[in-house]
Amino acid sequence: MATDQSENITPQIYLVTPAEFELSEFPARLAQVLDAHDIACVRMAMTTTDESRLSRAGDILRETCHSRDVAIVMDSHVLLAEKLGFDGVHLTDGGKGLRKLRETHGPDFILGAHCGASNHDGMSAGEAGADYVSFGPVGDTLTGDGTKAEKDLFKWWSEMIEVPVVAEGVLDEDLIRTLSPYTDFFGIGDEIWRQEDPAEALGKLLAAMQA
């Protein structure tokens, strides 16, 4: 999961699952999107801490992704991600403990870090060995404390830092058009899963990158 935004390459899609989903339905919806579009990576972002539920979902989603040669990472649960054969883990706390995880799991295990809107946390995660850093939310939301990752953060990062960057959180077509020159990946989740046809919804967002 690497790219060089300095070459002004079109951003790739980093797909994020819903926080909760029906295992009887969601894998088919995910497969539909993976079959319709070029996806760089999938993140299983379930909020449950039930190990049994995470394991059942992880087994199915891993097979759905790996059968299509798409990498899959899991939010936070490092040991479970490793046990289930995931490609890596996404740390939601700014990358705390990332250096030790890199030493333990080696260079091939994907380690990403969500750093809110803090370039300092992002740089620290990059120095500790993160494969990518994500910033967000980029759009307006009533959840959280209201802090947003603004365009200037992505612009600065694309000019100064080599670690790939992900823009995520409450995206729309206007934000995608604005941020496309400055981000390597767009983290797309609820923006499409709430739609009747997620593959079609993603297609509209992809078109905005070219506008």
pLDDT values of the chain reduced to their tens digit, one per residue, 211 residues: 655 444 567 999 999 999 999 999 999 999 999 999 999 999 999 999 999 999 999 999 999 999 999 999 999 999 999 999 999 999 998 888 999 999 999 999 999 999 999 999 999 999 999 999 999 999 998 888 889 999 999 999 999 999 999 999 999 999 999 999 999 999 999 999 999 999 999 999 999 998 7
Question: Of 66, 15, 12, 19, which is closest to residue 199 (Cα–Cα)?
Answer: 15
**Residue 6: predicted pLDDT:** 44
**Would 122 be classed as within a structural domain?**
yes
Domain housing 103: 9-210
Indicate the angle between helix axes 198-210 and 26-36, nearest 10 degrees.
30
Is 3 among the domain residues?
A: no
Strands of 34-145 (E only): list them: 41-44, 71-75, 88-91, 110-114, 132-135
Name the nearest CA neighbour of 13 among 161, 137, 159, 192. Answer: 192
Residue 2 lies in a domain: no
- Please give the tally of structural domains in the chain: 1
The pLDDT value recorded for residue 146 is 84
